[in-house]
Structure 1
Amino acid sequence: MSEHGLSSRDPLDLPLSILEVGVAGRVELITDPPKEKGSICPLSTVPHGLPPYEVDVSYEVIQKYLGDPEWLSMHHFDRSERSWPRTVDSPSLLHMEVTAAHMELSVERNPATGELLGITEVLVDHTGLSAQNSLSLRRPPGPPTQSVRGSTSNFPFWPGGMDEPTLEQMKTVTEQEEVVDFENDLLTVPPGWKQGMNFRPTDVRRPLGVLPLTSLLGALDDFSLGDSSEDEEDVKRRVQPGKEDKKETLARSDSLEELGVTTASAPAPPPPASLPVDAANEQWAVPLNMYDPVDDFYKVIPQLAFKHPFELDPFQKKAVQCLEAGSSVFIAAHTSAGKTVVAEYAIALSLKHMTRTIYTSPIKALSNQKFRDFKNTFGDVGLITGDVQLYTGAACLIMTTEILRSMLYNGSDVVRDLEWVIFDEVHYINDAERGVVWEEVLIMLPDHVNIILLSATVPNTVEFADWIGRIKKKKIYVISTTRRPVPLEHFLYTGNSQKTQNQFFLLQDASGAFQTKGYYAAVDAKKERSSKYSQTFGARHPHGGGAGHDKGTWLSLVQSLRQRDALPVVVFTFSRVRCEQNAAALTTLDLCNTSERSEVQTYYTKCLSRLRAEDRRLPQVLYMLDLLKRGIGIHHSGILPILKEVVEMLFSRGLVKILFATETFAMGVNMPARTVVFDSIRKHDGSMFRDLTPGEYIQMAGRAGRRGLDNTGMVIILCKSDVPEMSDLHKMMLGKPTHLHSQFRLTYSMILNLLRVEALRVEDMMKRSFAESRMQKDSKAHEQRIKLLTKSLRDMGDIECTGDLADLPDYFVTVNELIHTRELLQKRVVESINGMKCLSVGRVVIIRTDYHPWVPGVILQVSSDATNRVYTTLVLSEKRKGGGAEPGEKEKTSPPTPDDLLMGKVFRPEGPSDHKLLKLHATDVLLVTGKTLRVHADKVLDDIARSQTPRYRNDPPGPAVSAVTQELSRLSDLPPGSLTSLCPVNDLQLKDMDVVEAVSRVRRLEGALRGFSCPNSPRFNTQYRLVEQRSNLMDELDRLRFLTSDQALSLLPEYQQRVKVLRTLQYIDDGGAVQLKGRVACEVSSHELLVTELVLDGALSPLTPEEIAALLSCLVFQHKTQCEPRLTDTLKEGIKKVRALAERLAEVQRQCGLKESVEDYVAQYKFGLTEVVYEWARGMPFSEIMTLTDIQEGLIVRCVQRLDEACRDVRSAARLVGDATLCAKMDSTSQLIKRDIVFAASLYTQ
Structure 2
Amino acid sequence: MPEELPIHAPIHSRRWFPRTPNPRRLFSLTLFPVTSCLEVERDPATGHITGVREVSNNDAGATAKNSMSMRRAPGPPEEMVRGSSTNLPFWPGGFPEPTLDKESTETEHELDLTNLVTKHPRLSRGITFEEPEPPPQEEVKEPEREEKSSDLVVSISDMLMVDESVLKIFDVKEEQIKKPATLTLEDLNEEDSNLVETFKIEPAPKKEEFILNISETPVEVELSGPSTEWAEKVDVHAPVDDFHTRVPNPACTYPFELDIFQKQAILHLENRESVFVAAHTSAGKTVVAEYAIALTLKHMTRAIYTSPIKALSNQKYRDLKIKFEDVGLLTGDIQINPKASCLIMTTEILQSMLYNGSDLIRDLEWVIFDEVHYINNAERGHVWEEVLIMLPERVSIVLLSATVPNTIEFADWIGRIKKRKIYVISTTKRPVPLEHFLYTGMGGKSKDERFLLIDAQGKFVTKGYNDAVAAKNEKKSKMQQQQGPKHMRQHMGEKQEKNMWIGLIDHLSKRELLPIVAFTLSKKRCDGNASQLLSQDLTTNAEKGEIHSFIKRCTERLQGADRELPQVVYMQQLLTKGIGVHHSGILPILKEVVEMLFAKGLVKLLFATETFAMGVNMPARCVVFDSIRKHDGTGFRDLLPSEYIQMAGRAGRRGLDTTGTVIVLCKNDVPEMGDLHRMMLGKPTKLESQFKLTYSMILNILRVERMSVEDMMKRSFSEAITYKNQSQYQAELELYTEQLKQEPDFNCMMCNSIEQYYAAAKEFVEQRANVFNLIHGFPGVVKAVAPGRIILICYEQYQSYLACVLKIDPKDKTKMIVFVLKEKSRQNYSKHELMAKEALSASEAMFDPLEEPSEHGFLEIAFKHIAAITDRVVKIDGDKVIDNIKKRQIPRFKDDPPSQSVMELLKEMQRLNESGVQGALQHDVQEVASAGGNWTAEVPNV
| TM-score over 0.5 for the pair | yes
For 1:394, give the aligned amino acid.
A
CA contact (8 A) 1:857 1:968 kept: no
In the other structure, the counterpart of 1:700 is 647
Aligned to 1:732: 679
Query: Offset at 1:854?
Result: 9.0
Q: How does 1:260-271 map to 2 (within 5 A)?
A: none
Quote the residue 2:911 is aligned against. Answer: 971
Which of 28, 32, 44 is 1:99 aligned to?
A: 32
Give 2:99's aligned amino acid.
T
Q: Are the equivalent residues in 2 in contact too, given 1:705–1:712 (CA < 8 A)? A: yes
- Please show how residues 849-998 of structure 1 align to structure 2 within 5 Å: 873=819, 875=821, 915-922=854-861, 923=865, 929-932=872-875, 937=881, 941=885, 967=907, 971=911, 980=919, 990-992=928-930
What residue is the counterpart of 2:214 in the other structure? none
Deviation at 1:340, TM superposition (A): 0.2
Q: 1:893 to 1:433 in 2, by over 3 A?
A: closer
Partner of 2:507: 560
1:551 match: 498
Within the alignment, does 1:788 sit opposite 2:735 as a pair?
A: yes
With normalisation by structure 2, the TM-score equals: 0.73
Contact preservation (8 Å) 1:487, 1:510: yes
Deviates more, 1:151-160 or 1:476-485: 151-160
Q: CA deviation at 1:341?
A: 0.5
Report the alpha carbon displacement of residue 181 of structure 1 after superposing the two structures with TM: 7.7
- Provide the rounded CA distance (Å) in 1 between the counterparts of 2:842 and 2:503: 87
What secondary structure sits across from 2:291 in the alignment? helix
Residues 1:865 and 1:181: Cα distance change in structure 2 (over 3 Å): farther
Aligned-pair distance for 1:323? 0.7
Give yes or no for contact 2:479–2:488 (8 Å, CA) kept in 1.
no
Return the offset for 1:434. 3.2
- The alignment partner of 1:616 has SS state of helix
> What are the equivalent positions in structure 2 for 1:335-484 lying under 5 Å apart?
335-386=281-332, 388-484=334-430
The equivalent of 2:167 in structure 1 is none
Choose from 635, 652, 677 the match for 2:599: 652
Q: Whole-Å Cα distance in 1 between the matches of residues 451 and 696 of structure 2?
A: 53
Distance in 2, Cα, partners of 1:943 & 1:609: 82
Shift of 1:115: 12
> Matched residues in 2 for 1:109 and 1:836: separation?
86
Q: Which has the higher contact order (CA 8 A, sep 6+)?
A: 2
Q: Closer, same or farther in 2 for the Cα pair 1:97/1:702, shift >3 Å?
A: same
Could you tell me whether the CA contact under 8 Å between 1:940 and 1:960 is conserved in 2?
no
Match of 1:274 in 2: none
**Secondary structure in 1 aligned to 2:564?**
coil
How far is 1:834 from its partner?
A: 8.8
Instruction: Give the counterpart of 2:664 among 717, 727, 731.
Output: 717
Counterpart AA for 1:971: R
* Aligned residue runs from structure 1 range 287-302, under 5 A: 287-302=233-248
Name the CA distance, whole Å, in 1 between partners of 2:474 and 2:287: 50
Pick aligned residue for 2:589 from 638, 642, 662: 642
Structure 1 residue 360: deviation in Å?
1.9
2:905, 2:481 → 1: CA distance?
72
Show the 5 A alignment for 1:180-191: 182-185=108-111
Confirm or deny that 1:514 pairs with 2:460.
Answer: yes
**CA-CA distance at 1:583 after TM superposition:** 0.9
Partner of 1:322: 268
Find the aligned partners of 2:98 and 2:598 in 1 and give their Cα distance.
Answer: 55
Q: CA deviation at 1:446?
A: 1.6
* Partner residue, 1:585: 532
Task: Determine the C-alpha separation between the residues in 1 that align with 2:822 and 2:31.
Answer: 91
Equivalent in the alignment of 1:136 = 69
Give the direction of change, closer, same or farther, for the CA distance of 1:748–1:829 in structure 2 (3 Å limit): closer
Partner in structure 1 of residue 139 of structure 2: none
Partner residue of 2:144? none
* Equivalent residue, structure 1, for 2:250: 304
Aligned pairs for 1:23-102 within 5 A: 91-92=24-25, 94-102=27-35
1:1212-1223 maps to which residues of 2 (within 5 A)?
none
- CA positional deviation for 1:564: 1.7
Counterpart contact for 2:627–2:665, Cα < 8 Å: yes
Q: Tell me if the contact between 2:469 and 2:670 (Cα under 8 Å) persists in the aligned partners.
A: yes
Cα displacement string for residues 435-474 of structure 1 (whole angstroms, at most 9, x for unaligned residues) = 3332332222221111111122223322222222122111
Q: Is the 8 A contact 1:105 1:119 kept in 2?
A: yes
Which sections of structure 1, spanning at least 5 residues, go unmatched?
A: 1-86, 173-178, 189-276, 1011-1246
1-side partners of 2:706 and 2:768: how far apart?
A: 48
Q: Which residue of 2 aligns with 1:65?
A: none
Q: Distance in 2 between matches of 1:677 and 1:841?
A: 59
Corresponding residue number in structure 2 for 1:605 = 552
Answering whether residue 516 of structure 2 is matched by residue 569 of structure 1, we say yes
Counterparts of residues 112-127 of structure 1 (less than 5 Å): 121-127=54-60
Q: How many residues align?
A: 800
Superposition map of 1:1088-1237 within 5 A? none
Alpha-carbon shift at residue 568 of structure 1 (Å): 0.6
From 491, 513, 532, the equivalent of 2:478 is 532
- Tell me the distance in 2 between the aligned counterparts of 1:604 and 1:333: 35
* 1:208 equivalent in structure 2: none
Q: How far did 1:764 drift? A: 2.9
Q: Which has the larger radius of gyration?
A: 1
* Structure-1-length-normalised TM-score: 0.56
2:443 aligns with one of 494, 497, 503: 497
Residue 161 of structure 1 is aligned with which of 65, 76, 94? Answer: 94
1:900 and 1:97 mapped to 2: Cα distance? 69
- Specify the SS of the correspondent of 1:470: helix
Shift of 1:342: 0.3
Q: Residues of 2 paired with 1:112 and 1:653: CA distance?
A: 60
SS in 2 for 1:307: coil
2:724 aligns with 777
CA distance 1:156–1:798, shift in 2 (3 Å): same
Closer, same or farther: CA 903–509 of 1 in aligned 2, 3 Å: same
- 8 Å CA contact retained: 1:327, 1:476: yes
Post-superposition offset of 1:822: 7.6
Could you report, residue by residue, the CA deviation over 1:915-962 in whole angstroms, capped at 9, with x for unpaired residues? 423453544897664234689859975996699999x8xxx9789699
> Quick one: which amino acid aligns to residue 395 of structure 1?
S
Residues 535-544 or 308-317, more deviating: 535-544
**What does residue 1016 of structure 1 align with?**
none
How far off its partner does 1:806 sit?
9.0
Give the Cα separation in 2 of the matches to 1:964 and 1:668: 69
Deviations 1:1099-1122 (A, max 9, x none): xxxxxxxxxxxxxxxxxxxxxxxx
- 1:410-451 CA distance string (max 9 Å, x none): 333332222211111222233344333323322222211111
**Quick one: distance in 2 between partners of 1:665 and 1:917?**
62
- Per-residue CA deviations over 1:324-361 (Å, capped at 9, x if unaligned) read 11100111222211110101111222222232222222
Q: Which amino acid aligns with 2:290?
A: E
Contact 1:628–1:656 (CA<8 Å) still a contact in 2? yes
Per-residue deviation at 1:700?
1.0
Q: Is the 8 A contact 2:330 2:344 kept in 1?
A: yes
Q: Residues 722 and 836 from structure 1, CA distance in 2 versus in 1: closer, same or farther, beyond 3 angstroms?
A: farther
The answer on whether the counterparts of 1:350 and 1:419 sit within 8 Å (CA) in structure 2 is yes
Q: Distance in 1 between matches of 2:377 and 2:281?
A: 19
Cα distance in 1 for residues equivalent to 2:693 and 2:590: 37
1:379 to 1:540, Cα distance in 2 relative to 1, 3 A: farther
Higher deviation after alignment, 865-874 or 387-396: 865-874
Over the residues paired in the alignment, what is the CA RMSD in angstroms?
Answer: 4.9
Q: Hey, what's the Cα distance between the residues in 2 that align with 1:96 and 1:811?
A: 64
Name the CA distance, whole Å, in 1 between partners of 2:822 and 2:709.
Answer: 58
Residue identity matched to 2:422: I
Out of 613, 616, 620, the position equivalent to 1:666 is: 613
Contact 1:947 1:957 in 2 (8 A): no
**Partner-residue secondary structure (3-state), 2:580:** strand
What secondary structure sits across from 1:158 in the alignment?
Answer: coil
2:82 alignment partner in structure 1? 149
